[in-house]
A and B are shown apart, each in its own frame.
Chain A
Amino acid sequence: MQIINPFSCVRKLAKQDDSQITFSASKELNGVKLFLNEHDLSKLQRIYINYLYFYYNLQQDIQLKEVNKKVLEDEIYEDAYSYYKSKVDKSKKKQNTGSTIRLTSKEE
């Protein structure tokens, strides 16, 4: 019998429509819970939550047409886009902070 490696499967599980629907419902409805335990999350449960957010954000970006839906065809695509987006967001944030500082110094 083959040993199932939960670490490699949990990502695929979080990507599934059913998991995403339960996740969205759990954020909006009090009665919907992701797990039987309410605290003392296991490491695997934490990883699962991270991936739920990861795919939730990816779906949002697809809907906003920030990324092509082809991104979901491969995990390497997903990771690459996520990395690219974090770098772009960081650089935008830096630019915004920079302009605020310049604005303040102009007013002075």
Chain B
Amino acid sequence: MDDLELMKSQEAQNIAKKLTEQYQLSKVVEMIKDNKIYFDHDKIKYRVRLLNSKEKDEYYEAISKKHSQLLKDENVLSEKMIIKKYREKGLIDINDLDEEIKKINANINEYRMKLGEELSGNANKEICEKYKSKIQELFVESYGIEIRKQNILFTSFEEQLRNFGTKYLAYLSVEKENPESEKEEYIKAFKTLDDFLVQEEELVGKIILYSKAIQSANN
């Protein structure tokens, strides 16, 4: 590939990137204009919305039931118990991983201070880029440790309960357009949690992500 071709190819890539970004932003504009998110999947219109009071009660009831069920299961260990077992067997000490993450975060903040100060003053490009690269390296390092930690704790009592809560919330939040109604009307999309979870992975993932974008601890 000669220089001209390379330039053209890079330009085409930049244009494609900008178009994708513009498309994504226009979609996000749609998502934030109201407290509901509408989307299509396999020619069916769905919407994800905030839970009403009755649904919130159902959500807490389901969580409480799952909580009791997990407590009875002797194979399910709490995070603390898993950490203890790993330490006793001479495997990874998760508390050490936490300490490492703390140190890295403190290091990130030190570089943030330096970078912020530089930006408030001369804003020398080389210096700013040097600090930025350091911060990026530290982020990658910290992320790697977080993943190691998550891989060890993913079967824990707390993680299983969190995971169930996320899925249940998504299942309760989603509705689909009623095909039999002449006016715009939305009805429950899935009869049960299991009905929801056996859907295509892409659809389930989308609903979970949008439900997380809508619900917060306060609503």
Asked if chains A and B come from one complex, the reply is yes
Q: Is the CB of B33 within 8 A of A36?
A: yes
Segment at the interface with A among B74-82, B106-114, B151-159: B106-114
- How many B residues have CB within 8 A of the partner chain? 43
Contacts A9-B24, A16-B25, A84-B120 given; does A45 touch B219 at CB 8 Å? no
Which residue from A5, A46, A77, A87 sits with its C-beta under 8 Å from B115? A77
By DSSP majority rule, is chain A's interface helix, strand, loop, or mixed?
Answer: helix
The answer, yes or no, to whether A103 is at the interface (CB within 8 Å) is no
Q: Is the CB of A3 within 8 A of B120?
A: no
Contacts A40-B50, A43-B213, A87-B113 given; does A77 touch B119 at CB 8 Å? yes
Q: Is the CB of A43 within 8 A of B215?
A: yes
Report A76 CB to chain B, min CB distance, Å: 5
Compute how far the CA of A5 lies from the CA of B206 in the bound complex, rounded to whole angstroms: 9
Report B148 CB to chain A, min CB distance, Å: 23
Which residue from A6, A42, A82, A83 sits with its C-beta under 8 Å from B28? A6
Q: Please, which residues of chain A bring their CB within 8 A of the CB of B34?
A: 35-37
- Looking at B31, B34, B136, B214, which has the most chain A CB atoms within 10 Å of its CB? B31
Contacts A4-B28, A77-B132 given; does A37 touch B35 at CB 8 Å? yes
The answer, yes or no, to whether A41 is at the interface (CB within 8 Å) is yes
Segment at the interface with B among A23-31, A62-70, A94-102: A62-70
Q: Please, which residues of chain B bring their CB within 8 A of the CB of A1?
A: 202
The answer, yes or no, to whether A17 is at the interface (CB within 8 Å) is no
Q: Is the CB of B120 within 8 A of A68?
A: yes
Q: Please, which residues of chain A bring their CB within 8 A of the CB of B171?
A: none
Q: Is the CB of A81 within 8 A of B219?
A: no
Q: Please, which residues of chain A bring their CB within 8 A of the CB of B121?
A: 68
A–B Cβ pairs within 8 angstroms, 24 of them: A3-B202, A4-B24, A6-B210, A13-B28, A35-B33, A35-B34, A35-B35, A37-B35, A41-B219, A42-B35, A42-B215, A42-B216, A43-B213, A68-B120, A70-B123, A70-B128, A74-B132, A79-B112, A80-B112, A83-B112, A83-B113, A84-B112, A84-B115, A87-B113
